[in-house]
Amino acid sequence: MKLLEWLRGEGRIQGFLRDLLFVAVVVGVISILSQVTLGVWTPMVAVESGSMHPNMKVGDIIVIQGASRTEVVTWKEGEARGYSTFNNPGNVILYKPYGKEKLTLADQAAHIFLRRPYPPDKATPVIHRAISWVDEGEPMWEGGPAAPFAGYITKGDNNSEIDQNAGQLLGVVRESYFNEQMARGMIEEMGNGTYLDHELGYTFIRRGDEVYVIFGINYLMPVREDWVIGVARYRVPLVGYVRLLPSIVGNEIREFFS
């Protein structure tokens, strides 16, 4: 009770704490309502690149419905049904590239203000259109390699290549390193010859007797169903610049002092 009486006081500290508590309660209520209605705790993402231009622009806020609350309609299915969103057939999905966990606000703040590199086993979610579904063993594109597991083929509306064909092989992994990381439990097998190194963030793919390091958005792998965070539903122009502003300012500061 004494604490409550103290919080009701007129001092600056009490006022600041009351404001902070109010904001925390509002954010909590919004998060709970979002989870109940949309199936996600954080229903909005800011568009950070031009890969979906002009249907989604840098600085837009996109409202996401959780994957557990809806189905994903691919471009091919959308064409057959006459169903479109954001000016093209099918759904735009938010997914975790290579299944990596999302960057936290703390990760982003440390990168912007302390110049720390992003954790290698995390990545910014990608918001691209689901083009088609492939089963394990099916070619990921015409004349392309077989899918190591079932999942979605994805593409930015403004990109010339699908995500699965937008990347490169960086080289062959030393067998000693690969075996050592496997023994330490730092490499996760993602299915059918694909692996994720949680220590350094590398993505590997085994072909025959050799293991290659690969680089890209989701190169040589479809987007597994459990990597899909949700489906894009609404677009709010420009508001996302509030979310992107710290990164923009941080980059300008680094440029100035570099």
What does 89-123 look like in DSSP terms, one character per residue?
EB-EEEE-GGGPEEPPHHHHHHHHHH-PPPPTTEE
Position of tokens 């998060």?
Answer: 31
Q: Cα-flanking dihedrals φ and ψ of residue 142, to 5°?
A: -60, 120
Beta strands 101-102 and 122-123, pairing class: parallel
Helix or strand holding residue 137 (H, E):
none
Identify the DSSP state of 174. Answer: P
For the cut 80, the answer to whether the pLDDT of residue 162 exceeds it is yes
SS3 of residue 233 by DSSP: strand
For the cut 60, the answer to whether the pLDDT of residue 6 exceeds it is no
* 20-59 residue pLDDT tens: 554 444 444 444 444 444 444 456 788 888 999 999 998 8
CA dist., res. 139 & res. 154, Å (int): 14
User: What ranges do the domains of the chain cover?
Assistant: 1-38, 40-163+221-258, 167-216
* 127-154 residue pLDDT tens: 999 999 999 999 999 999 999 899 999 9
Burial class (CB in 10 A: 0-12, 13-18, 19+), 94: buried
For residue 194, what pLDDT is reported?
87
For residue 242, what pLDDT is reported?
53
* 78-121 residue pLDDT tens: 999 999 999 999 999 999 999 888 877 777 767 666 677 778 88
256 vs 125, higher pLDDT: 125
Model pTM? 0.76
Q: Return the closest-CA partner of residue 121 out of 183, 43, 67, 199.
A: 199
Beta strands 88-89 and 101-102, pairing class: unpaired
